Structure 1
Amino acid sequence: ALVPPVVACVGDPFYKITSEALLVSQQLVKVIRPLDQPERDTFDASPYITDLFTCTIKRLKAADIDQEVKERAISCMGQIICNLGDSLGDDLPGTLHIFLERLKNEITRLTTVKALTLIAGSTLKIDLRPILDEAVPILASFLRKNQRALKLSTLAALDILVKNYSDSVTPAMIDAVLAELPPLISESDMHVSQMVISFLTTLARVHPLSLAKIGGSSILSELISLVRSPLLQGGALSAMLEFFQVSMVTSSSLNR
């Protein structure tokens, strides 16, 4: 009963109503198809998928709308793909390419990175191959931007992409990311360093051959410098210990 009036509000000409309606739609998607509690997934969401998708894609495609509406449309569509992506059929690849365009836009890139992280982590195993070749180098380029929130979100996105789409991540994609990492490993920002180390640990697990590239680059020397820092403690220290532990196990397996 809630979906029709909310969908109508998404099409409202007043931006504030549209923005709030998109936020409600995002929450509704999580309720009608709760991925975190499969035992509660007894509700048939199929009658509502088309309406929710149609009203959101219209706002996602629009170029001349309020910034808040743009961001809410990206977040809402990210949730729709995450929870209902297996029901979108032929609409999915085209929608992912819109995300790719939003990723290239300076205004919408941070929100899009967060939405892609959500999609990549979906238990539905959404097929992201149509955009991976172009998306990963773009994400790698964000690591050199002077925007801390973007760096952190990008590292989280790359980590989940490498973890869940290891078969589709090519050596060229990995090289593009590794080239951007050395400047991020520093005691001046331990949280960013921790995220980088966690990413390297994931990479060592799912792409063991990349260890040679890590060892043969300035990444290893930056890691050693960080090990010597008295500021290395807490989460960053735990991440560092895990990285070297995984690296040793992986190296031993490769040398057998």
Structure 2
Amino acid sequence: MKCDECPYKRIFNRIWKTMGLLLRVGAIFALIAILIAIPVVLAWLDVSNVLPNSLSESLFAYIGGIFGGLLSLAGVYLTIKSALKTRKLDLEIEYRPLLSVGVVDSKDRSHHIGLELFVLTNSSLFNDSHLEWLGERLLIENLGRGEVAEFTVGQLSCSPISCPEGFNLNGREWKVCKLFDSIPRVIPMSRSIEIHLGIPTPIDGVTVKDFSLRLEYEVEMFARGVYSEEADRYTLNFCVDARFSPRGLNSSIDSIVFNRDDARIQ
């Protein structure tokens, strides 16, 4: 569990904010009490030059001036705070990231650090320790007017939806693992990152004849804008046709569905 997701840290931050608010309110009331006490103390000391009029009139005028000034100051503060909040919201909406997904041909992966997803089948038909990388890759591009300050991948799933008759794939869902996911990712405007897909190779003897299967992926993504404190949640669904033969792997990515949730995720 990440530290930011720890419930104890959230409780501590809430208590810390409440204590800060109480200290600020206490300081304001202490200042008001001091300002009101000054003329009372001076009158009690019989300083006539300070209060030339009657004591009651001077105290009412003094206290009224204090409260009037405080109300004016509070109005200015609330106006500035509202304007800053509106400006922040406008910037968040104006520079909100907008991601798109596409499929491009693979290139030399040794010259590019992307995000790599690979499948573990736990099946006797595949060698999970030997991966075959697809010839196509997914391209996640930022089409918005602002930078993506933080891009992360959440839950993953992969399910085989078709395979040759007579083969048992041991369950309906395979485990999907991530490589290079711990690297902080920033996507500038009009830039992109790549997602490479790897699947295990069949064991010797399975590919004597062509062996094909179709896989369905679901990927959860989070993108936080540079002016946002919250992240937008995206879901990516796509299918992979993989055809193994003695000559190697021939694959393609299709049926891509890419959505952004209306709800904002903290």
Question: Per the shorter chain, which TM-score range?
Answer: under 0.3
Structure having the larger proportion of residues in helix: 1
State the TM-score, normalizing by the size of structure 1. 0.18
Structure having the larger proportion of residues in strand: 2
State the TM-score, normalizing by the size of structure 2. 0.18
- Higher normalized contact order (CA 8 Å, seq sep 6+, divided by chain length): 2
